[in-house]
Amino acid sequence: MPDFAFGNQDTKNVTNITQFSNNICAPDVKIKPKKDVLAGFVRYTSIEGSFCDYYSYPNLPRNQGYLISITSRNLEGLPLKICISNYLSNRCDLSAQLSSFSTFGKDVFLLPSMDEGIGFNINLNNFGIKGTPAVNELKSIEITPFSYNQLAQMETYIQTGEDLGEKSVLTYAQTFEKSWQAYETKDRNWLTTALPFLFGKKIKEHVLTNNWENGWILENTNPKGFVIIFWPQYLEYFGFAVLIGTFAWLILKRKIKQQ
């Protein structure tokens, strides 16, 4: 069985959002986008055009993987877009759009190890369309070193007895889809494997990792194992069971009438 993939949480790099005032875009529009520094967060407002901001991490080695957690909320229009670019190529190693949280919520991304260089930027783009302004707020950026080389594709059932530490990430190398669900299990038997939603504990924090894989954030846990399921499959199984039950009932009813 392939190894379970997890990353231990070392010292976090937490960005003080309100101390940055980098505006690297100068859009040629009549109504200039703006950035307001408020109590504990910043607000980006774009009536039309882009507001581009960046947060720089010049001392972080790129041969290390990182778990990047961004806390934001979307008040109006499109949510923020991010591009994580390295200093060497200045290209996006990871590009994504943040979630449209109405209250502050956290998006978690896994940045894999890249090369032997040092430093990268987290670039933000707040894009407003004429008639549809964009208003977004950014509260925090947390960067945690992550042992990316330990990642491996898993089978449906993962057994582990190791202490996973304060926070870890469980990954599954399938294209991200909300219908994938992960459950902690205490015992391994056919019931917990077949029906984890009845005999296991659901892991609620389902996140996008490596910009395409499924991941689940684990905290303070030492389970016996995990079961990962694709929920629509169970609806299909239920449909088959109903169909078989219907045929069985019709056959039984016919036999009773013939007696």
214-228: average pLDDT: 75
For residues 113 and 177, state if they share a domain: no
CA gap 44, 79 in Å, rounded: 10
Encode pLDDT of 86-136 as tens digits. Answer: 888 788 888 888 988 899 988 888 787 888 889 999 999 999 888 889 999
Is 4 within a domain?
Answer: no
Is 163 within a domain?
Answer: yes
The SS3 call for residue 254 is helix
53-81: average pLDDT: 90
CA gap 175, 157 in Å, rounded: 18
Is 48 within a domain?
Answer: yes
From 148, 175, 196, the end of a domain falls on: 148
| Domains identified in the chain, total number | 2
For residues 158 and 48, state if they share a domain: no
| Structural domain containing residue 106 | 13-148
| Strands of the chain, DSSP E | 13-15, 34-37, 42-46, 49-61, 65-76, 81-86, 92-97, 105-111, 118-128, 134-146, 157-159, 167-175, 180-185, 201-202, 206-209, 213-219, 225-230
Is 113 within a domain?
Answer: yes
For residues 132 and 188, state if they share a domain: no
For residues 158 and 142, state if they share a domain: no
Is 197 within a domain?
Answer: yes
Encode pLDDT of 192-210 as tens digits. Answer: 777 888 888 898 888 877 6
For residues 127 and 157, state if they share a domain: no
For residues 33 and 140, state if they share a domain: yes
Residue 66 pLDDT: 84
CATH of the domain at 73: 2.60.120.260
For residues 99 and 210, state if they share a domain: no
Average pLDDT of the chain, as a whole number: 76
pLDDT tops 50 at residue 68: yes
